Structure formats: C-alpha cells, structure tokens
Structure 1
Amino acid sequence: MSYFLSKAILDFFIAFGVVVGGSMLAGIGAVFVYMPPTVVMFEQASRLKIWALVAAVGGTIDPMRVIESNMFEGHLSPVAQQIGFILCAFLGAHTGTELIRLICKGG
C-alpha cells in the first residue's frame, strides 16, 4: 500500500477515535457528576473536532511548514499530500462527530 494511502487512513481513524473516544469518556464522566450524558457527549464531540484534526496530522506547525516551504519552491506534490492528509483527518473528525450526534439525538 502506498505511503499516502496508509497515512491518510491512519489520519482518518486517529481523528475519528479522538472524537468518539473523548465523547464517550465525557459521557461516562457526566454520569458521575449527575449531568445528562447525551448532552455532554454531543457538546464535547463538537469541541473535540478541531483537536482531533490537530492530533491526527501531528500538530499544526509541521504540516503548515511543509506546505509553505514547498509552495514557494514550486513543489506542489508535497503540498497536495499535506492538504490530502488534513482533509482525511477532517473527514474522520466529522464522521466521529456525526456518529455521536446520531447516537445522542437519535437521527
């Protein structure tokens, strides 16, 4: 399997796991403090979305540095790869958020 495809799949599932796992654990914590778990889970899924994206791509500085340095040198292939990785991570985080919304709101 190519490097791009394997990293893109990993980025997707890392972002997905951060949102779903964080929201589930927040729901468990909500039970302990007598708050409605579904409300807490849904709110946390929305808040975790951007952090899941950051965690999946390895921080915000390195991918932006790759994009910036390669763009000015005229190398567009690494730029397209980094944008693809960011998009895959976003799709994972969004899918996780939508799954939590589906679980909490019921459709």
Structure 2
Amino acid sequence: MSYFLSKAGLDFFIAFGIVLGGSMLAGGGSVFMALPPATVMLDTALRLKIWAIVAAIGGSVDPVRVIESNFTAGQLSPVAQQIAFIIFAFLGAHMATELVKLVCKGAS
C-alpha cells in the first residue's frame, strides 16, 4: 500500500508541476514576445494537460502494456493500480489547469 500511495502522489505532483510550471514559463515568455500573458498561460495549460499525464505515468506505452497483459491474464489488481495512477495524474493536471484558469480569470 505504501508503494501505491507514494507512486500515486508522485504522479499527481509531476502532472501538476508540468502544467503549472509550463504555463508560468509560457506566460513569462509571452511578455518578451509582446503577447497577452494570461491568454498564453490558459492556452498552454490546456495544451499541456494530456502531455503532463503521459509524462507522469511514465512517458511511454508501458502502462498500457501492463494493463493489457495483466487483463488478458486475469490479474485485475495491477490493472486497477495502473488505472488509478492514470487517474491521479489526470487529477494533478486538471487541478493545475483549474488553478491557471483561476489566476487568469477574465483574461480570455
């Protein structure tokens, strides 16, 4: 259980950090490009969301292979774990996107 919670927590915070950090850096860079920072931050957060999830769960198709191989073998516990890791990564990316929306409220 300890491994599961630590991996799920890391997936959450990795995805959260990718979206929030990428959006903040894009907003800072937009100042140098004479673009509206809030609009750029919102757009970047939305575009980074799926990539943050992929990066948090491992950045490749390995989690999908784990799901497929264990599901066909009838072992549902590893399948449930991988799906939970994906959900935690999604929650981290989604919360960061909502935070960026909150900070940039009224910018679009």
Give the shorter-chain TM-score range: over 0.9
Under a length normalisation based on structure 1, what TM-score does the superposition of the two structures give? 0.97
Deviations 1:64-99 (A, max 9, x none): 000000000000000000000000000000000000
For residues 52 and 83 of structure 2, the distance between their equivalents in structure 1, rounded to whole angstroms, comes to 16
Aligned residues: 106
Gapped runs of 5+ residues in structure 1?
A: none
Stretches of structure 2 that go unaligned for 5 or more consecutive residues are: none
Distance, in Å, in 2 between the alignment partners of 1:4 and 1:59 is 18
Using the aligned pairs only, state the percent identity.
71
**Structure 2 counterparts to residues 37-48 of structure 1, below 5 A:** 37-48=37-48
Counterpart in the other structure of 1:88: 88
Structure 1 equivalent of residue 50 of structure 2: 50
Moved over 4 A (4+): none
Question: 1:7 matched to which residue of 2?
Answer: 7
TM-superposed deviation, 1:22? 0.1
CA distance in 2, matches of 1:49, 1:28: 19
Name the structure 2 match of 1:67.
Answer: 67
